[in-house]
Structure 1
Amino acid sequence: MADEMVRLAQRFINTTYGNGATLGISKLDENGQTGWTVMYALTRALQYEMGITALSDSFGPTTLGTIASKYGKLDETTIPSANFCRIIQSALYCKGYDGGEIDGTYNSRVKAAVEKLNANMGVGATYPGSSLWPKVVKGLFNMDAYVTVSNGSDAIRSIQQWLNGRYILRKDFYIIPCDGHHSRDVAKSMLFAIQYELGMADGVANGVFGPGTQSGLKSHTVSVGTTGVWARLFTAAMILNKRSVPFGDFTATVQAGVESFQSFVKLPVTGTGNFSTWASLLVSYGDQSRPGTACDGVTMITPPRAQALKDAGYKYIGRYLFNPSTTSLPEKQIQPGELATIKEYGLRCFPIFQTWSRSADYFSYNQGTSDAFKAIEWAEFHGFKPGSIIYFAVDYDAMDGEVSQYIIPHFRGVMRTIGENSSYGVGVYGPRNVCQRVADAGYSATSFVSDMSSGFSGNLGYPMPTNWAFDQIATITVGSGSGAIEIDKNIASGRDTGQGDFNAGGYAEGLDVDLDKDAYRNAMLADVRSYLDSIGVPETGGDGWTDDDWATLGGISTTKAFDLVLSADWLFTSLARQLKLRKALIQAPVLWELRKMNPLDVAADEAVKNGFDDDCSTGWGQIFAWVTIDARNYCMQQGIINGTPLTSSDIPVVWENLHEDPTYNIRSVAYLTVYNAHQIGAPRPSLTTSQAQSQALLARYNGTGPDAEKYGRELIGLYNVLENYNQLSRNN
């Protein structure tokens, strides 16, 4: 929402500093909305007015030090110029305080705003009055809030204000937000506070959970009856970990909360704030010396290594289903005979799926779908039984916005595919925030938490996910000689115990693979175009299209239809491998229907969208919702896919999915192919389905009767063109 005074602040920057040119920035949008762009501009303006030549968005040591050395503090007696004051007034407005009229006067309204700002920050007692001290100015020129926002916790805000008030005079402690939300800055401020209370000097205290801090905490166990600053720090840490205890003394209520927390994170339940409990509250990996019963690694479990792990108390081993590299980490993927060894030694295995997953741009709904299909296939190959939870990796420090934009849709694709096409469960491996948000979205059963990465933004300031199964805390070596193995030590919660017995597994020969596009795309397109042209389907037009219709309604050329099909080659391949049939059976009708889309199809879609009709053929494969319902229900009855039976009341939702989601549409084409075999009394399509039966299946896609028979004759030729190149890719 626009604020008139913020708009005036933006205009002040533009008019005073040459539309940003003087400050080395672009002209500000005068939209009345605050944000980092505005705060950066104000920071640069402040630096400019103080004579700093190297202007920067950062309110760093130089800016802070210049305020301290030149003015000591800012008020009506030290403000050097009217524009300097206008910058302060503008910053106050951007923070939601009354900065006066942006008139360059440090007047009573400005003073009142500063007093309120100091109080909200929790530093009013340290900095009484209406002066702005350097660290307060630094806190003013950022986007931190000092009032409770977005359903924040008043208890957490009290802790934030207490920390600011108690430690603001320490050299390396800066004002943290007082918004009622735990965060990276708050987590680090807690470590600074503990180091200060342990007696560490400025310059020694660094906000890192290092050996000195750990050693000091071992002599500061708190328990019922403890009062004072150590009780406050401990209860603060509990509250920041979403434990409902009062902030202050260590009471019986706190003890009960500690016992609950210790039980949750699998620490010995003592009810006291001992070192291990302090560690679990303050840093994601906690007490790295505590024993673990689970591990994961990239090394094959041989008999000597299995014995070494068993002797060290390990029960559960995480191993990778697949390794896309043929050279890096040669034992990362489960090796032949390895699961038999794990079983023989009484150990259990939980499967992990990871290809890349180290940056946001890897993740998407389609990638999640693709990963899930691959994971199902590899889990079956290795012999993992139904009920096994597969952990899909998010192996980087995902920002919260990236979780929303990329990772949640990715896991929606994973969950939909695993749920529909297998009896496996979905787990997520990643930082705490990723794990919790995926769980909250309903896309994971359990979490494998990458807590070893304690500096990740997704770990700092976030409590342990509620559905955690494995907590990765340290890299260690177990065993010696031939039994030596490097592992990541994990704490196990018991929510997932992996698998201790395995099916025979194995690999189905002759399955389709992704098309070698570099080798075959151009030749394949030429053959598709040649074949379609030979049966009266030119590159463009035809089938009821006028030139004007083609231009305005978006007719699809043969080349465009072909490229759309190739863009989803991963999905056609995945479905064909999952259903163990030839992917050309799915590709041919989709390519044909895309190319043959006409004005009547467009009009029929509009009629359904506008409520004039209930159903029509739609989407890439031009399927009716009622046909899709019949096909999916049949496949559910046959145990081919999982799901809740659909009824006629589901037609609107099914139609929308078919129309809006090509992935859903293509999947439905595949299930319809299986259902059509049932409808014509033929065996389920397979890798060896005959040419005649393939033609009959393709004909049934268009119904029955002479038109359908013609459809089958036309599509079997297209099928053969596509299958030729699929076969070439298989044989490479």
Structure 2
Amino acid sequence: MADQMVLATQKWLNKTYGSLAGFDRAPENGQTGWATIYSLREGLQHELGITSLANGFGPLTKSKLATQLGRIQLNSSSKIVKLIKGAFWCKGINPQSFTEKYDVYLGSAIKNLQKNAGLTANGVLTVNLIAALFDMSAFTLLAKGDARIREMQQALNSQYSEQLGVLPCDGIYQRDTNQALIYYLQRIEGLGSTANGVYGPGTISRTPTVNPGAQGAIVKLIQYGLYVNGFYTGSFNGNFDTSVSTAIVDFRKFMKLPPYTATADLTVIKGLLTSNGNTNRDSDTFDTATQLSAAQAQMIKNYGFKIVGRYLTGSVGTGTNRRNKNLTTAEIKNLTAAGLKIFPIYEDGGYEVSYFTATQGINDAAAAVLAARKLGFPRASTIYFAVDVDIQAGDLAGTVVPYFQSIAQYCQNLEYQVGIYGTRNACQAVKSLVTHSFVADMSYGWSGNLGFKMPHNWAFDQFVEYGIGGVDIDQGASSGRDLGTNKFAPRTDFVSPNSALKKLLGDFNLSVGKTVKIYKDDTLELSVTARNSLSAQGGSGSITINKNGISSVDLGAWLRHHSNLPSGVLDIVLDKTGSNSLFTKIKSGLMTISSAVNTDRSYSVTITIDIFETDQGPLSDALSLVYKAKVKINNNIFQGINPEKITNSVAISVLIIAGIIIVTNGGLPAVSGILEIIQLIISKIA
């Protein structure tokens, strides 16, 4: 819904500054957003005498603004005042007017903002307060916010807003809040002007050890840290009482930080305020991209390690530095002989956000499972699929989530469990789709780690990298949820795609890479192609095939979601799926259905069946069957039917049935039966 005062602000900005070089025009839609904020900032920069406009609020803008604060007073008039009022309207705080006059109502709006931000409500403008106003930061509790976190944010603002700027007070624990807590610790440590919100060597060396009975600011900081990590519900009173002691012990146990005492030392305090914690702590797990020799494996075991993460496929480096990183059967012997257990990681790409799609999830799952089977990882092993990129929270739902939906869909009928390697927010986003998380906490500066809780299903926690005897390793902690394995039994029952086709389709004369034209007349065209690849899109767009065939429930749900089928048509479709012989020979697979309206007044449907495993065994390579069907509407079969009534959803229902009949017996379909069913469906919508 458009806000009329925001709209008035946008129109005035464009009219007043629209001709300036470098000015970004505001969208005239009455809705606050970054585009309007950028226009406000650039208008302010112009009024401050800055000729090179930019959409940030940087040091030059702040220094120029500082020289003008004395002129922005009650009863003064200027375009800067009008810009400030416009910013208030965009912030949702009512300054009562949109003029150049600094009146008492503007003073009230300033006090309102200060109160919401946890500042002294004196009505005095500061550079940092104006910077917060010319921003999208929220200062009221958001729907997903936490009132206790907002209380903490306001308290931090009341003490450090001049040094850190005015932080959001929306109840959402985020990067700025996390850094403010580190800054708070640094001020407690006496770092003064060198405090910067980064937990570096100076902060580490000064981190105190705090015991039960202590009081003061350091205890309040510990209470804040325990609360945002989900281990404390008491008040922020600065008293180290039994509730704080219990929370610290619980945090130590959850994060595997012995000894399990109530002492808050560097391991606890840095663990609360950063993702990587105390990087000098002991642990028993590491991962590496190096193919380890027997001597290297024994050397690393002698350092006290017990579990190693190794890659299923791929290589690292480029050019002459390129080397394989994949686990081999020879290396398995080296590792297990040294007394090490192994867990599998899959990462053959995924360094850019665009990599993560539902289709890519299917292909990665297939490659990972095949490699794990050939190496002999036992049933119920968890494969950790890597998200080795810092993805912002807003991008997760459209990238990582569908990627893991497809992986989970692929693996649900097979022997392996799904895990994720990634930042804390990525792990949290897919927690319902994975069994375990391997948390990339070593990347402590990534936005996906700062301000996010440790996932409760964490199995491994990667926290520091270094070299041992020429081997680069990433050290991690183990929660005990996944102990890896030292028992391997490579599978030998693989079936080639062509052998699978022979078993599935009989004497249909179809092989990988070949297309067979099944039927063609004036009404219907049918063909099938066998591909040495996976073609289903995965995710919600695909229907699962398991040892019981296609579920009528799943197919029915898909049809209801993707098409508006007339009454009675859905029952006809579902009735043809119950005893399908091809599908019952497929132990695990996916079916995707897509449709198109053609320029020649015909409808086409493509039915793709990705086959992961048959009743003969797992496939040694990718295989998909692609059935294509085309029905023309300008012929006798549609006689008497208004073409406008033959909708895309009808085409879907007609050709799904055609496709199901095609694959029912694995041979030539009874075309007369297909036409009969098409006529039956058409009669339902006539």
TM-score (norm. length: structure 1)? 0.74
Give the letter for the 1:447 counterpart.
Answer: S
Is structure 2 residue 1 aligned with structure 1 residue 8?
no
Please name the residue that 2:47 is paired with: 49
Shift in alpha-carbon separation, 1:631–1:434, aligned structure 2, 3 A:
farther
Shift in alpha-carbon separation, 1:340–1:625, aligned structure 2, 3 A:
farther
Shift in alpha-carbon separation, 1:295–1:686, aligned structure 2, 3 A:
closer
Please name the residue that 1:213 is paired with: 203
Is structure 2 residue 577 aligned with structure 1 residue 627?
yes
Counterpart contact for 2:390–2:448, Cα < 8 Å: yes
Give the letter for the 1:428 counterpart.
Answer: I
Matched position secondary structure for 1:186: helix
Structure with more strand by fraction:
2
Counterpart contact for 1:470–1:491, Cα < 8 Å: yes
Counterpart contact for 1:23–1:41, Cα < 8 Å: no
Give, in angstroms, the shift of residue 674 of structure 1.
Answer: 6.1
Counterpart contact for 1:399–1:458, Cα < 8 Å: yes
Alpha-carbon distance between aligned partners in 2 of 1:62 and 1:106, rounded to the nearest angstrom: 24
- The root-mean-square deviation of aligned C-alpha atoms, in Å, is 3.7
Alpha-carbon distance between aligned partners in 1 of 2:217 and 2:199, rounded to the nearest angstrom: 19
Matched position secondary structure for 2:588: coil
Shift in alpha-carbon separation, 1:616–1:448, aligned structure 2, 3 A:
same
Superimposed CA distance per residue, residues 658-680 of structure 1 (whole angstroms, 9 cap, x where no aligned partner): 56899995337x59x968xxxxx
Correspondence for 2:283 among 274, 287, 292: 292
Matched position secondary structure for 2:262: coil
Alpha-carbon distance between aligned partners in 1 of 2:606 and 2:481, rounded to the nearest angstrom: 32
Correspondence for 2:303 among 294, 307, 312: 312
Please name the residue that 2:393 is paired with: 400
Please name the residue that 2:486 is paired with: 500
Matched position secondary structure for 1:488: strand
Shift in alpha-carbon separation, 1:302–1:157, aligned structure 2, 3 A:
same
Is structure 2 residue 423 aligned with structure 1 residue 423?
no
Q: What are the within-5 Å matches in structure 2 for residues 561-710 of structure 1?
A: 569-571=533-535, 609-616=565-572, 626-627=576-577, 630=580, 634-635=584-585, 640-641=587-588, 658=593, 666-667=608-609, 670=611, 701=662, 708=669
Alpha-carbon distance between aligned partners in 2 of 1:447 and 1:255, rounded to the nearest angstrom: 28
Q: What are the within-5 Å matches in structure 2 for residues 476-491 of structure 1?
A: 476-478=466-468, 480=469, 484-491=470-477
Shift in alpha-carbon separation, 1:494–1:631, aligned structure 2, 3 A:
farther
Please name the residue that 1:222 is paired with: 210
Q: What are the within-5 Å matches in structure 2 for residues 189-268 of structure 1?
A: 189-202=180-193, 204-217=194-207, 220-245=208-233, 246-249=235-238, 250-268=240-258
Give, in angstroms, the shift of residue 235 of structure 1.
Answer: 1.0
Counterpart contact for 2:336–2:486, Cα < 8 Å: yes
Matched position secondary structure for 1:62: helix
Runs of at least 5 residues in structure 2 that lack an aligned partner in the other structure: 500-509, 539-558, 597-603, 621-658, 673-686
Give, in angstroms, the shift of residue 432 of structure 1.
Answer: 0.5
| 38-47 or 185-194, larger mean C-alpha shift | 185-194
Counterpart contact for 2:117–2:168, Cα < 8 Å: yes
Please name the residue that 1:725 is paired with: none
Is structure 2 residue 379 aligned with structure 1 residue 432?
no
Counterpart contact for 1:382–1:506, Cα < 8 Å: no
Counterpart contact for 1:447–1:469, Cα < 8 Å: yes
Give, in angstroms, the shift of residue 616 of structure 1.
Answer: 5.0
Superimposed CA distance per residue, residues 608-627 of structure 1 (whole angstroms, 9 cap, x where no aligned partner): 7133322455xxxxxx6742
Alpha-carbon distance between aligned partners in 1 of 2:37 and 2:350, rounded to the nearest angstrom: 34
Runs of at least 5 residues in structure 1 that lack an aligned partner in the other structure: 514-523, 546-555, 575-602, 618-623, 643-653, 676-682, 688-697, 712-732
Give, in angstroms, the shift of residue 557 of structure 1.
Answer: 11
Counterpart contact for 2:91–2:133, Cα < 8 Å: yes
Alpha-carbon distance between aligned partners in 1 of 2:47 and 2:67, rounded to the nearest angstrom: 15
Shift in alpha-carbon separation, 1:631–1:117, aligned structure 2, 3 A:
farther
Please name the residue that 1:350 is paired with: 343
Superimposed CA distance per residue, residues 485-529 of structure 1 (whole angstroms, 9 cap, x where no aligned partner): 22110000001111111003469586579xxxxxxxxxx9xx989
Give, in angstroms, the shift of residue 11 of structure 1.
Answer: 1.5
Matched position secondary structure for 1:627: coil
Is structure 2 residue 439 aligned with structure 1 residue 449?
yes
Give, in angstroms, the shift of residue 346 of structure 1.
Answer: 2.0
Alpha-carbon distance between aligned partners in 2 of 1:462 and 1:388, rounded to the nearest angstrom: 27
Q: What are the within-5 Å matches in structure 2 for residues 146-225 of structure 1?
A: 146-170=139-163, 173-202=164-193, 204-217=194-207, 220-225=208-213
Alpha-carbon distance between aligned partners in 1 of 2:561 and 2:236, rounded to the nearest angstrom: 60
Shift in alpha-carbon separation, 1:24–1:418, aligned structure 2, 3 A:
same
Counterpart contact for 1:23–1:44, Cα < 8 Å: no
Is structure 2 residue 112 aligned with structure 1 residue 116?
yes
Counterpart contact for 2:580–2:665, Cα < 8 Å: no
Give, in angstroms, the shift of residue 175 of structure 1.
Answer: 1.2
Counterpart contact for 1:605–1:616, Cα < 8 Å: no
Matched position secondary structure for 1:489: strand
Superimposed CA distance per residue, residues 71-109 of structure 1 (whole angstroms, 9 cap, x where no aligned partner): 2473326x5x43221110010011110122102222222
Alpha-carbon distance between aligned partners in 1 of 2:618 and 2:483, rounded to the nearest angstrom: 37
Give the letter for the 2:264 counterpart.
Answer: G
Please name the residue that 1:582 is paired with: none
Superimposed CA distance per residue, residues 441-468 of structure 1 (whole angstroms, 9 cap, x where no aligned partner): x211010011111111000111111111
Is structure 2 residue 522 aligned with structure 1 residue 543?
yes
Alpha-carbon distance between aligned partners in 2 of 1:108 and 1:352, rounded to the nearest angstrom: 63
Give, in angstroms, the shift of residue 131 of structure 1.
Answer: 2.1
Give, in angstroms, the shift of residue 336 of structure 1.
Answer: 3.4
Shift in alpha-carbon separation, 1:91–1:604, aligned structure 2, 3 A:
closer
Give, in angstroms, the shift of residue 332 of structure 1.
Answer: 0.8
Give, in angstroms, the shift of residue 571 of structure 1.
Answer: 3.5
Shift in alpha-carbon separation, 1:355–1:606, aligned structure 2, 3 A:
closer
